[in-house]
Amino acid sequence: MNSTQLVSCKARGFTLIEMSVVICVLIALMSTGLYFGNKLSEWQAGKEASEQLRGVYAAQRMYLADHPTTAVTSLTEANLIPYLPNNPGAMPTVLSLDHTTLGIKVTVSPPVLILGGSVYDPSGNSADSLWDVGE
């Protein structure tokens, strides 16, 4: 036999290691996407909450401009409803990250979200304008 006639025939296909690496990369990409998707939805919820609070804050300022002798501590939701943007007819509702309804404390300026009697701000920063009116 001639040495040129002996041609090694390499089988084509993926090895078990190559398939395992591809599967691990896909799992890592999916996990990263789910993590950032969850963080994005949390950010959107915070942004919506801050927009609702901005509307209440604007209503506070307009009411106090029309009634300059009224103290902020004596404000009620009924006082502010006619001054809310787009005249919704009721106070806006805000949902927390675990989808419980939050209250809006209107007796402080700027207004804050309340859950169980304490201020609700999962961002931990009162100046970031996320879950609050900010500075």
**Residue ranges per domain, the chain?**
16-119
- Please determine, for residue 2, whether its predicted confidence score (pLDDT) is greater than 70: no
Strands (E) in the chain, as ranges, are 94-95, 101-105, 112-115, 118-119
Q: Is the pLDDT of residue 29 over 90?
A: yes
Q: According to the model, what pLDDT value does residue 40 have?
A: 87
Q: What is the mean pLDDT of residues 19-32?
A: 92
Closest to 104 in 3D by CA, of 70, 69, 58, 65: 58
When pLDDT is cut at 50, 70 and 90, the band that residue 66 belongs to is: very high
Mean pLDDT for the stretch of residues 34-57: 87
